[in-house]
Amino acid sequence: MRFFNTAGPIVPEKHYHVPIADRINIDKILELIGQNKYFILHAPRQSGKTTSLLTLMKILNDSGKYKCLYVNVESAQVTRENVVETNKAIIEMLERMEKIYLKESIFEKNSKKALEKSEFTALANILTYWSLESELPTILFIDEIDSLVGDSLISVLRQLRSGYTSRPCAFPQSLILCGIRDVKDYRIYSSKEKEVITGGSCFNVNAKSLSLGNFTRAEVEYLYNQHTKETGQKFSNEVIEYAWQLTNGQPWLANALAYEACFEITEGKNRENTITKEIISIAKENLIKARVTHLDQLVDKLKEERVRRVISPILEGASFHEIPQDDLQYVVDLGLVKVENGKAKISNLIYQEVIPRELTYITQISLAAYFEPQWYVNEDGSLDIIKLIESFQEFFRENSESWVERFQYKESGPQLLLQAFLQRIVNGGGRIFREYGLGRMRTDLLIEWKDNKKYVLELKILHKSLEHTRSQGISQTIEYMDKTATKIGHLLIFDRRENRSWDDKIFKEERIVEGKKVVIWGM
Residue 310 lies in a domain: no
Residue 111 lies in a domain: yes
Last residue of a domain, one of 189, 211, 233: 211
Number of structural domains the chain divides into: 3
Q: Are residues 79 and 143 in the same domain?
A: yes
Separation in Å, CA 298 to CA 78, 230, 291, 476, 506: 21, 33, 10, 31, 36
Host domain of residue 417 = 360-522
382-411 per-position pLDDT tens digit = 999 999 999 999 999 998 888 888 888 888
Residue 336 lies in a domain: no
109-161 per-position pLDDT tens digit = 999 999 999 999 999 999 999 999 999 999 999 999 999 999 999 999 999 99
**C-alpha–C-alpha distance, residues 119 and 388, integer Å:** 66
**C-alpha–C-alpha distance, residues 331 and 312, integer Å:** 12
Q: Are residues 150 and 277 in the same domain?
A: no
156-201 per-position pLDDT tens digit = 999 999 999 999 999 999 999 999 988 888 888 888 888 888 888 8
Residue 424 has what pLDDT?
A: 84
CATH number of the domain encompassing residue 81: 3.40.50.300
Average predicted confidence (pLDDT) for the chain: 92
422-450 per-position pLDDT tens digit = 988 887 678 898 887 666 668 899 999 98
pTM of the model: 0.86
Residue 17 has what pLDDT?
A: 97
52-92 per-position pLDDT tens digit = 999 999 999 999 999 999 999 999 999 999 999 999 999 99
Share of the chain above pLDDT 70, in %: 98
Last residue of a domain, one of 258, 290, 322: 290
Q: Are residues 365 and 511 in the same domain?
A: yes
Q: Are residues 382 and 263 in the same domain?
A: no
Q: Mean of the pLDDT values across residues 345-373?
A: 88
Q: Are residues 206 and 225 in the same domain?
A: no
Q: Where are the beta strands (DSSP E) in 19-169?
A: 38-42, 67-72, 138-143
Q: Are residues 369 and 273 in the same domain?
A: no
Name, in order, each residue with C-beta under 8 angstroms of 107's C-beta and a sequence gap of 6 or more. Answer: 91, 94, 95, 98, 126, 130
285-317 per-position pLDDT tens digit = 999 888 887 888 888 899 999 999 999 888 877
Q: Are residues 60 and 182 in the same domain?
A: yes
